[in-house]
Amino acid sequence: MYTTYIVKRTQIYLDEAQDERLTKRARASGTTKSDLIRVAVDAYLAGPKDRTTHLMAFRTAVRAAAGSIPRLPTGRRYVDEARRADQERERDLEARRR
């Protein structure tokens, strides 16, 4: 007659962007945000159990993301550029004072 469905209520905090994306995906899937979260938790918990598989998956993810951030300048170049910008600001401020 009725299927017993026992769940434990929990609370999570999402930032606005996460909540908006979750709302849109739930609407598009014809389901609830709660159901999508449960599916995501199940997928996460069903992930690789042995350390080697987990490590390989982690390394694959790192390699895939390695080129996704802009390269930072060398420390010396960064400092030189920051000093140059400070000197220009100082000159501008001095010119305004006159």
Q: Residue 48: what pLDDT?
A: 64
- Report which of 48, 44, 49, 19 is spatially closest to residue 34, judged by C-alpha positions: 19
Euclidean distance between the first and the last CA atom of the chain, given in angstroms as a whole number: 88
CB of 54 within 8 A of CB of 48? yes
pLDDT tens digits along 42-89 = 888 887 677 888 788 888 888 777 765 567 777 888 889 999 999 999
Cα(54)–Cα(45) distance, integer angstroms: 12
